[in-house]
Amino acid sequence: MKNSSRKLVDLIRISIDLLYPPFRKHMTIQFFRYGMVGASNLVFDWVLYFVIYNFVLQHKMLNLGFITLSSHIASLSIKLPIVLFSGFMLQKYVTFSYSELRGRIQLFRYMIVFLVNLTISYIGLKILVDYFRFYPTPSNMAISILTIGVSYYSQKHYTFKASVTN
């Protein structure tokens, strides 16, 4: 990692760690970092979804020629690679920096966990928006909250798995 990137990661980690003391009795520093990084990326996800859905697509279907996506599913598809990359980088360098697995293996595993969460999100959006007729943005938020537990466990024990000595 370049020196300027390392400084940014250190700044993020120090900023998060400054908020940790009141939570020390209730959780580990790693879980706190995961929560803070995850919450930041989640809010970024929600804002990005809202902007794409309301201002980029303007609630309209997205016709790709070979398939037409509803605006809420198209918004999900567009935000995906951006949120995938930001989440991976933050978790890799801020939360799970101790992992000795190679970066490409971590990325592959992260993508698998991400795809599981995407499947949950897709099914959840289809049910909540298309079947129950709930608003897309709050539906996306509710589904995101449901995937947090699965993500933490998977990232800790699979994606960024530490060696036994760590």
pLDDT value at position 166? 47
**CB 81, CB 69: distance < 8 Å:** no
pLDDT value at position 165? 53
In the predicted structure, residue 3 carries a pLDDT above the cut 60:
yes
Residue of 3, 22, 29, 19 lying closest to 97 (CA atoms): 29
**Complete DSSP assignment for 65-107:** SS-EE-HHHHHHHHHHHHHHHHHHHHIIIIISTT--S-HHHHH
25-74 residue pLDDT tens = 999 998 899 999 989 998 999 899 999 999 999 999 999 999 999 999 99
97-111 residue pLDDT tens = 888 899 999 999 999
Q: What is the DSSP letter of 62?
A: E
pLDDT value at position 82? 95
Q: What pTM was estimated for this model as a whole?
A: 0.78
pLDDT value at position 111? 93
3-state secondary structure of 113: helix
Give the confidence band of 152 by pLDDT, cuts at 50, 70, 90. Answer: confident
Chain mean pLDDT for the chain: 90
In the predicted structure, residue 18 carries a pLDDT above the cut 80:
yes
